[in-house]
Amino acid sequence: MSLLSEELRQKILAYVPRYPRKQAVTLPALHLVHDALRCVPRQAIEEIAELLDLHPAEVHDTMSFYGFFRDENNPLGQTRLWVCRSLACMLRGGEELLAYLSDKLGIAPGQTTADGKISLEFAECLGGCDGAPCVLVNDEHRMNVTLDRADQLLDELRR
């Protein structure tokens, strides 16, 4: 039985004409699977490889190169919360924000809360220096997230 839905398979295959070789679709395929399943299980790696005429090791190599992807032993929560650690964010309280959120959530960066709602991560730069300290909630930038706004953010994410 296939882990990837037919819809997800078709989304992956829709990328093939956009690239000169099927291998180039590996990264978009991993993103699609990761977004849908909140991780990339071993079986998904095998199915992506089959779709793209690759060896599973080639897909795994791409996946393991990037720190973005999670495997089935460490899936993402419903919400991925990235805290920026760039120089601009650090100077405006980014490190303290990360420590505060980690303490409030009871997890270290790279972990997910026990209820599976929030995964806390840090990033070296989120490209929001003008709104430092900034965070990324899934794919949405939030600017000027100071300690006094952190509890409000957590309340929103827990709902």
How confident is the model at residue 122, as a pLDDT? 94
What's this model's pTM, rounded to 2 decimal places?
0.83
How confident is the model at residue 159, as a pLDDT? 87
pLDDT means per 10 residues, the chain with 159 residues, are 95 97 97 96 98 98 92 93 96 96 97 96 93 95 95 94
How confident is the model at residue 117, as a pLDDT? 95
Nearest partner of 126 among 158, 159, 80, judged by Cα: 80
How confident is the model at residue 66, as a pLDDT? 87
Alpha helices by DSSP H, listed for 1-159, are: 6-13, 26-37, 42-51, 56-65, 87-91, 94-105, 147-158
How confident is the model at residue 68, as a pLDDT? 86
How confident is the model at residue 72, as a pLDDT? 93
> Which residues touch 67 (CB under 8 Å, ≥6 apart)?
none
State the greatest distance between any 2 C-alpha atoms of the chain, in Å, as a whole number. 51
